[in-house]
Structure 1
């Protein structure tokens, strides 16, 4: 695989170093603001770019393939060319995004090789400019995790909110950022800045830190510092102006937020303001209607009053505004895909994420600039912000990675130990009638059942290491009557049953049979002490009458289940506090367990 010449790479690094030395872009802080009229590399690069190269910097796309140069026919439909490298070159892409379903994320060595290959493609174009790619991913941790083990895993945002430690939130972001950067990924679409005030929210939920704006703002600021200052990756707060109070998933429909402007100021705005104050590189838009902020009916992604007047002017945000995926239904109901791309930029977005068809959207944006619909000055301002971010985060000077160094960064013992320590402080003991927990593990027979192969396997193994004899019967997210009967039969003669739930409240989507609720009732009817472990939403207990022992972990990955085993057996004392209210089933005005509730031993 060819690499750009040493001369070219050295020239880029030298130009950036000269720019920094000249004071055009302060390097004293990773979150430092760029002056409004930077010179040096940014100015000279912008002056030498063609119209098509400028427009290309506004697009962040996925491409199919585990490496840069293997053809995949799925790319042809989007780009008109078959390989990821060809797509990068043809459209002068500003960035790419990785997913497992695009074959981009398989293992650390593969990811690093893909990153290097795509950077080579970006810098080997026949062009007067050399601009490396922003390589991005959604590595929120918890339910939205793209790179799994051996990369270090942390619980999701709501678990960190339960832990209440901004230091732990920063540690989680710092470790995640360092490991991503070692793989060539320089942008993480995290943290989630939405305040999850709606327990029925199907798309945010535990991706949010809390229902409390102040706690969410503190956690967001800590994670921005961890990603950008410690991890050297750009952070992106999402989803502006706030996706926390909806029962509609914008991936499949068009949510409407009914908050007043005053409610937005008090409830939704604080985390985004905290991110801006911390110097965040990017803010991602939401595909939802917010009539109090813009009564046109357009989604926020297409709203100039929201993106330009509110975010850019009123809040004073200077960084990159990027859209959420333009493949999502919430932004495609009113206009064609090409028109959505143009309108997003007119509204104030700087970069377009995952437009469904580059062969339509790219020429539409070029034509909009040529016609004057998008002014050349506006285009230059958008590209300047993109280039400023790449310089500020060190991507221009340091975009290639050393595969041989991955093992010294990714999944190290130091990082894994930090993840265990952080996770130990997040579990919340919500109910412990009859002091069932902690269990005296030695010699006890325990059944572990419920949701998740990873969750139940890891939990059973942890309990076994503590001295129990643990059997496992996995029933999944929507147990059948036969599975429920099998798990109930397996409970006979056991000293304890530990049952994991995952959004047991959501019988409309997650558990259409209501099987998780039936499973818990059936296990409780055996008379064996039942410990319910909510591995995602803490709200499940409101739908599980009769539950007397209830532990919320907010995440179902292995590190969370290992910590759950330590909490259940008393190796670790529970210290997590609810970061949300848990309301009664069907009655949001009645709070069963309030924000801040949490038991200990």
Structure 2
């Protein structure tokens, strides 16, 4: 992120509208002449983008590329029929640009926010992924990262290189942005979602521009205020995006289309003053010349575009009719010649556009795009499970009075008057999301009826109109076992009629359960009336409706939360509780959080005598500057109390680092409220942003709480990690313990090994380098393993390495440690000290491959036990064993058993 100009805002007003460098450039700005008209076209054209509304390249588009050098083309739903056709269309566009000497390829853009009304992703052309509001409900940025990466991959099959998404505006009923396009009203969650999407696009080599940067409020003097910007929640997601180096940002019309007299003292526009100077952002600023902009500006055509460039836009999307576009362009060219648009401003904008294009685009890939490993249909089959999983996670049970749900088979006889009766399904008349294709019913809610029918109920499906409930509907109600009523399209003028129909239904129904499904924002349903059961799916896609049926009949356990909290004032009996809390995550600080963390550990794990940790031991494990980053959620109503803790470490594995999610715990009294999810997401966002971390593991290596999920963990807690994307394996890791005082050395261990020429002894300085070479050769791929041997020299603990020799060559090694030594392992593994003061440990036991299976391992363990016994230790702890047979044959018993999980890409 750029630091911005030298006189950036720091709490005072600006003395001048431009930086010194800008003034100097403008003073030297030489005017263009009519002889330079072709040069002007080439410069200005790169700052323009036009929409393509047909599946073919017509003369208008060809003329805009070859004669006016537009810098980008925006694809719409009407221009996309088949992925192969779109890919060919894009190649033709790029070829036309190359032929006339474009310095960089065209931006081929799309507004793909996913959800119901995105131009791509209807289940036929592209995977149907959930939109922003549903994403805000399931609150898992790792799933969102996977979705955004999958969506970007599918777009790349059509050679699309720029996505104009996501929307970073907070949900506001009066804000002008549809609720379904926002992630909710929590700026922290919106920032996390935006970071996940932009990171995913960047990982796929695709640019993305976020939107829509809002204008600040006006002060009493009419001047736009900037004093309190840092504290306004609506700017927090954009500030975070700027810090992450987002490629570009769309501006609200009130940021760039306003008349000059409404700018800062008639000199600086909001874009120049706020974004460039206040936030120090140097990416691409984009405006869209559409009806909304014309309404704000009071002008249209060329004058609107001119105002956009004067007020700081680097690019404009011109939505003019082809018959009017030439007049608009001529007005822009004349404004450049007359110096209304400065040459210096044009050059600065072109430089910002050039940086983005050089980062993501190349002529080689544009003209001859690389072959995709999988075609779009193959990718859609591959991504289908991810999409369904995300929709299921988004389903939110807002109310479930009298525990009516789930309507599982065993409960139907107790919940329903007629367990074998039928379901009355009432749905609104909703427009099709896409042009109908084969297999798509004209009524999208038929999918819900079929899903209910598949669970063993006959369904009487009766749509209702703006006229509300009729006698036909009332007749169905009287004979129904239960009723499902669906609301949708909260932005539709007829939505109030849906609410009125629902109110009427609540009055005329008998005693049947009424299940209300909000296939849109549920805001109006929260407090306006009493509803026994309210389920939110936020969309009426097939996947969302299938997920709703699964939740109703108990096939899934809904985990979604309402993604906004600005409800109408509820009755006193329905005052919002902590369940509606949006949790802010803080970075762990030792001075502030250590003792509260120890209290949380005791509360979460104090039930087991094996896992007791005091504050001092916890400090040794958590306080690892440079190799750790921990996060906490605090109770806003109790000073200093920690409700959740997540500890992460990094460890070297080859050329890159592995991130470890070492521990995640939440106060038992505050679980199932989103605290664990907030911590989990924050940890993954940190690891994803780290330039050297490629993979993440659940558990940790050094230092270590647990190497995996403890077997004692309740199944529900293990399932929680599975829903977060962790893949459980069928293997286990074991910690073992041996009482040395009761141990007797086996008589048949050293004799046979001595006959083979195998001897044992402690390491000495003379053979230390040989030891390191042996470990490097055989165990360099084991994270942290070789480093523990190397560290012996620095701590003067070389004798802690017990070696096996054959003909004076090292063939095996093991590390022993105790609490009184300097060996780092004694600080990395806390459980020997928990067992007792005179307990040592054994770690990093390994032999050369040709000596495995010959008893060398058992001999090495016995030699290590004798060493610990000679040091006066009473017990031996062995950590991280995947094969416990050797140890059990020598008398060890299992201390801890842990389920392993597969490493995952971040």
Q: What TM-score, normalized by structure 2, do the two folds share?
A: 0.52
How far is the alpha carbon of 1:57 from its aligned partner?
A: 0.8
State how far apart, in whole Å, the 2-side matches of 1:325 and 1:548 are: 47
SS in 2 for 1:531: strand
Residues 262 and 294 of structure 1: CA distance in aligned 2, closer, same or farther (over 3 Å)? farther
Paired position in structure 2 for 1:392? 359
Change (3 A) 1:592 1:499: farther
CA distance in 2: counterparts of 1:435 and 1:192, whole angstroms: 37
Match of 2:787 in 1: none
The CA distance in 2 between the partners of 1:67 and 1:502, in whole Å, is 34
Q: Which digits, 9 at most, give the CA deviation of each residue in 1:276-311, with x for residues without a partner?
A: 2222111000023799x9995469xx9943211211
Moved more, 167-176 or 185-194: 167-176
Shift of 1:195: 0.9
The 8 Å contact of residues 257 and 288 in structure 1, kept in 2 or not, is answered as: no
Query: Are residues 325 and 204 of structure 1, via their aligned partners in 2, closer, same or farther at CA, if it must alter by over 3 Å?
Result: farther
Q: Partner residue of 1:493?
A: 479
1:411 Cα deviation from its structure 2 partner:
4.7
Query: In the alignment, is the contact (CA less than 8 A) between 1:152 and 1:410 conserved in 2?
Result: no
User: Is the contact made by 2:294 and 2:300 (CA closer than 8 Å) also made in structure 1?
Assistant: no
Contact 1:454/1:557, CA 8 A, preserved across alignment:
no
Asked if 2 retains the 8 angstrom alpha-carbon contact of 1:213 and 1:266, the reply is: no
Would the alpha carbon gap of residues 216 and 569 (structure 1) be closer, same or farther in structure 2, given more than 3 Å must change? Answer: same
For the aligned residue pairs, the C-alpha RMSD in angstroms reads 3.5
Q: CA deviation at 1:538?
A: 1.9
Greater RCO between the two (CA within 8 Å, min separation 6)? 1
The structure that has the greater radius of gyration is 2
Alignment of 1:309-458 (within 5 A): 309-329=273-293, 331=295, 333-356=297-320, 357-400=324-367, 401=369, 407-408=375-376, 411-440=379-408, 443=420, 445-451=422-428, 452=430, 455-458=444-447
CA offsets, 1:375-396, max 9 Å, x none? 2222122112222212212354
Distance apart, 1:337 and its partner CA = 2.1
Q: CA deviation at 1:200?
A: 4.6
**Deviations 1:223-256 (CA, angstroms, capped at 9, x unpaired):** 11122223x322111111269x9xxxxxxxxxx9
Q: Where does the alignment leave 5 or more consecutive residues of structure 2 unmatched?
A: 1-37, 413-419, 431-441, 583-671, 675-715, 717-906
Q: How far apart, CA to CA, are the structure 2 residues paired with 1:258 and 1:430?
A: 40
Distance across 1 between alignment mates of 2:326 and 2:132: 37
State how far apart, in whole Å, the 2-side matches of 1:202 and 1:495 are.
41
Taking structure 1 as reference, are residues 494 and 111 closer, same or farther at Cα in structure 2, changes over 3 Å only? farther
Residue 484 and residue 238 in structure 1: after superposition, are their counterparts in 2 closer, same or farther (change >3 A)? farther
Superposed, which structure 2 residues align to 1:232-271 within 5 Å?
Answer: 232-241=205-214, 261-262=227-228, 265-271=231-237
8 Å Cα contact 2:288/2:319 also seen in 1: no
Check whether the contact 2:208–2:247 (CA below 8 A) recurs between aligned residues.
yes
Residues 156-175 of structure 1: pairs in structure 2 closer than 5 A: 156-175=131-150
Query: How far 1:172 moved relative to its partner?
Result: 2.0
Query: Kindly tell me: are residues 591 and 122 of structure 1, through their superposed partners in 2, closer, same or farther at Cα, counting changes over 3 Å?
Result: farther
Structure 1 residue 444: Cα displacement: 5.5
- After superposition, the Cα gap between the structure-2 partners of 1:83 and 1:279, relative to the gap in structure 1 and judged at 3 Å, is same
Distance 1:420 1:259, change over 3 A: farther
Which of 113, 118, 124 in structure 1 is aligned with 2:99?
Answer: 124
SS in 1 for 2:405: coil
Alpha carbons 2:165, 2:209 under 8 Å: kept: yes
CA distance in 2, matches of 1:331, 1:413: 44
| Alpha carbons of structure 1 residues 556 and 270: separation in structure 2 relative to 1, 3 Å | same
Aligned to 2:731: none
- SS of 1:399's partner is helix
User: Alpha carbons of 1:341 and 1:86: their partners in 2 closer, same or farther (altered >3 Å)?
Assistant: same
186-195 vs 377-386, which deviates more?
A: 377-386
- Distance, in Å, in 1 between the alignment partners of 2:505 and 2:152 is 42
* CA distance 1:64–1:582, change in 2 (3 Å): closer
Aligned residue for 1:188?
163
Aligned length: 513
1:277 maps onto 2:252 in alignment: no
Other structure's SS at 1:473 match: strand
Pair 419,135 (structure 1): closer, same or farther in 2 beyond 3 Å: same
Structure 2 counterpart of 1:223: 197
Alignment-derived partner of residue 545 in structure 2: 561
1:137 corresponding residue in structure 2: 110
Question: Does the Cα contact within 8 Å between 1:240 and 1:286 map onto a contact in 2?
Answer: yes
Instruction: Find the counterpart in structure 2 of residue 516 from structure 1.
Output: 498
